[in-house]
Structure 1
Amino acid sequence: MSDLLNSLVTELRRGSLTLAVLSQLKTPQYGYSLAQRLNDHGMKIDQSTLYPLLRRLEKQKVVSSSWDTSENRPRKYYVLSEYGEEVFQALKGHWENTTKELNTLLKGGNNNEDD
């Protein structure tokens, strides 16, 4: 069962990680600082997951990036684009509705008044 459970937990986390990342990009963040912020809030994310996700979101124009070369070590900063803010707000609304519906189901309730 543990292999199955691990697989299902990974699947469940995959979508929630995207929302978690977007929630932290209202201000520019570089990869390490973003991973630390998420980790500080209990959302552990490996670099091998974070960087491909950021590249995908950038390709989809949800985030934009820029390089800061003012320090010894150049850093690539990511921030929500205007389009990304719209996507984030819509995704957040779907997440809130879905969690409300799931909480009702998990508590054994019935959301449908016709039943």
Structure 2
Amino acid sequence: MAHSTMWCMGVEGAFDKLELELRRGVVVLAALSQLGTFRYGYELRRSLADRGMPIEEGTLYPLLRRLESQGVLVSEWRTDEGSPRRYYTLSAEGRVLYRKLADAWRGLHQTVDQLLEGGPS
């Protein structure tokens, strides 16, 4: 029995790591999907979490800065509501990239769904 329990804990640990890898693979697409209009970081985090994709601040803010440095996003500082906030949105190139990534995701999703239908039971 102890061996079985140990094996299950190994599976859970493996699951946690592999699930994290799956999420990392889609976090960019998820974030881009919510940046058709200007949003600041906390607003973006809330929008993603409300739709089932929570993202830690330590993941989101470096991601936003990296995407901006790559020309995918543009940002501006606003002080409308008190403290200054940096707002991000897709650049023209980011919109093209988003459409291409979304198409690629849909194709992969469809393929994986087909593979899962015939996979092990």
State if a TM-score over 0.5 links the two structures: yes
**Which runs of structure 1 show a deviation greater than 3 angstroms over 4 or more consecutive aligned residues?**
none
Pair member with larger Rg: 2
Task: Kindly state the Cα deviation for residue 5 of structure 1 after the two structures are TM-superposed.
Answer: 1.0
Matched, 1:86 2:88: no
Query: Counterpart of 1:76 in 2: which secondary structure?
Result: strand
Within the candidate set 61, 68, 71, 2:81 is matched to: 71
Matches within 5 A, 1:1-115: 1-108=11-118
Query: Counterpart of 2:54 in 1: which secondary structure?
Result: coil
The sequence identity of aligned pairs, in percent, is: 47
Query: Counterpart of 2:53 in 1: which secondary structure?
Result: coil
Cα-Cα RMSD = 1.0
Query: Counterpart of 1:67 in 2: which secondary structure?
Result: strand
Task: Kindly state the Cα deviation for residue 70 of structure 1 after the two structures are TM-superposed.
Answer: 2.8
Task: Kindly state the Cα deviation for residue 71 of structure 1 after the two structures are TM-superposed.
Answer: 3.0
Q: In proportion to residue count, which structure has more helix? A: 2
**Which structure 2 residue ranges, 5 or more long, are not aligned?**
1-10
TM-score normalised by length of structure 2: 0.87
Query: Counterpart of 2:118 in 1: which secondary structure?
Result: coil
TM-score normalised by length of structure 1: 0.91
